Structure 1
Amino acid sequence: MSPIKDTYDSQGFVVVPGLVSLQDFSKLQEASDLVINRTREGSWPYRRTVGKQFPPFDNDNPDSWGVQHVMHPDLQGSAIVFSNWYTSDDLTRACADLLHCGEEDLQLELFNLLINPLEHSFALRWHRDDVKENALPEEEQAALDKWHTGIQWNTALYEDSCLYVVPGSHQIARTPEQRVHSCTIDPPSDPLDMPGAVLLTLKPGETVFYNSNILHCAAYDHTVKRATLHACTADARYGTARGRNILQHGLSWVNDERFKDQLTPRGKRMLGRLLELQKSIPTNEISYSLEG
């Protein structure tokens, strides 16, 4: 087992430098600037709006804290830059290592961009991505025990000090004290009030891989530039385990032939596994993981 796999399994996250080449780094920065500008100008509708923490997102606020679906073919050249990196050798190798699977098992999922709002600082509450805040301890533990089929990551294009996590919390249900800080839909006034919490600071080019059911939250300072690649992939051998958490974001566009055409051969194979997941879960059975 690799050192990063050991750390990931015990802590629920691991920071890995050097997955983005210098050439790719400049391309990703340029592509990010283009899609961020489109989003802020109102010509890209898929965004995370200030005041809304989780999907479905709305248009009630003109300020944004995220750009959704950055591999969407309507983003043209930028989408190709993002999809090429999502399916790159070093990144997919790290994902397969941490998921303890082969490249032939990797399933394409989400790729979004986390950005700083322009007018309003914003925070997410303490949460696990696919466990509701009012889950009973035994329900929470049951969910954690089976949430090992996918991996999420943030890659910073600028220094990023937004993400807070509780190391090791991907394995055990919250303590009574931790539940006090995570049982409402309100973001914390100070994330470090959560017992066991630490702040993760990423340098440009660093990637944090994390189990998305680790206890985590985030705080966005509107005065600090942020462009952080935010994505996930899965081990397709586990079938529909991640269906709700992924399909709730609205992925009908991945059926567009233009999207398939822009992908590398590896990306096409990863997409095929996502399309099989879509077919196995009727649209009317898709629900939202969290509220707020």
Structure 2
Amino acid sequence: MAFQFSDKHIEDFHMLGYTVFGQILPPSLISDLRRVSDAAREIARERGGAQAQRLQPVGHFDLDQQPFIDYADLPDLVDAVAKVLTPDHHHGNRDEFGILLEPAEMPYCTAWHRDWRDNIHGLNLEHWNQGLLDINLFNQINCALYNDSCTWVVPGSHLRHDLRSEAERFPDRPIPGPNLEGRTTEEREYTCLKYCRSMPGAVQLHLEAGDFALYRNTLWHMGNYVPYSIRATLHDCPMTPEFKAWRQQHKQEAAQRQKVGIVMENPNTNRF
């Protein structure tokens, strides 16, 4: 069935923090993108080893760029992004986006986080707080070329600061991931899954091949990966002039703050 846009996509994005454009990529484009992603996987592992899980930005590598151009120009996708966000939000910049891949050998997961706040050392959290609800900032994309259930989220968390239960689960900064040292493959898989489920309100986001997930990266989220499930997911950002300027300014400021010893602020200090 051809993709059909509805008001529910807008409602889900604003209320849950994410929406999925189901099977919006045509099969021919999925095929082309899978082919070029196979080449990207080889390059990523040559450069970063068997556990490499990303090649970014795609435009900086010796890859057939036409499938990425077709993805950026896909009319239904351009229209859907504009309806949920604005016509000034543009995806598919090959100098920005990458491909997320499965690890070749061992299960792995990221730490739970809210982007920028929890993974940019030196960031002044007041700027993050001020931009929390700004539609021009903090939007992200996962576009799956194979079925992908790697991403976990806490729906609705993009609308607020942390709940007490979330702050109690992760009281410290930087947020630690699970301890995987010395564990077997199967133990790592169990440990990562237990870590995913340890966050109050966590749900697993299931994407099918050709699905395009548009989400607020200010919501609690993380990724959990196993080597036996092939993954090739375009990881993109619907960029705006406002976010480009915000990102440049606050990355520079964060770097300066690190030089004077400010590592990472804790957003929940004295909140509860």
What's the CA shift for 1:21? 0.8
Which runs of 5 or more structure 2 residues have no equivalent in the other structure? 1-5, 179-190, 265-272
Residue of structure 2 equivalent to 1:53: none
Residue of structure 1 equivalent to 2:17: 12
Residue of structure 1 equivalent to 2:162: 174
Of 187, 190, 197, which residue of structure 1 is paired with 2:177?
187
Amino acid at match of 2:202: A
Residue of structure 1 equivalent to 2:187: none
Q: Which gives a bigger RCO, structure 1 or 2 (Cα 8 Å, sep 6+)?
A: 2
Q: Which has the higher strand share?
A: 1
CA-atom RMSD, angstroms? 3.2
8 Å CA contact retained: 2:50, 2:103 = no
State the TM-score, normalizing by the size of structure 2.
Answer: 0.74
Amino acid at match of 1:195: P
> Does the alignment pair 1:124 with 2:137?
no
Structure 1 residues 32, 239: closer, same or farther in 2, change over 3 A?
Answer: closer
Which runs of 5 or more structure 1 residues have no equivalent in the other structure? 46-58, 249-280
Compare 81-90 and 161-170 and name the one that shifted more.
81-90
Q: How far apart are the structure 2 equivalents of 1:136 and 1:38?
A: 36
What's the CA shift for 1:160? 1.0
What's the CA shift for 1:12? 0.3
**For 1:91, what is the secondary structure of its paired residue?**
helix
Residue of structure 2 equivalent to 1:252: none
Residue of structure 2 equivalent to 1:261: none
Matches within 5 A, 1:9-158: 9-40=14-45, 42=46, 45=47, 62-72=50-60, 74-77=61-64, 79-99=65-85, 101-102=86-87, 106=90, 108=93, 110-132=96-118, 141-146=129-134, 148-158=136-146
Amino acid at match of 2:80: A
Aligned-residue sequence identity (percent) comes to 26
> Does the alignment pair 1:213 with 2:218?
yes
8 Å CA contact retained: 1:111, 1:232 = yes
Residue of structure 1 equivalent to 2:268: none
What's the CA shift for 1:76? 3.9
8 Å CA contact retained: 1:149, 1:242 = no
Q: How far apart are the structure 1 equivalents of 2:246 and 2:223?
A: 25
- Describe the superposition over 1:93-117 as per-residue Cα deviations: whole angstroms up to 9, x where unpaired: 2222221x225x6374721111111
Count of residue correspondences: 233
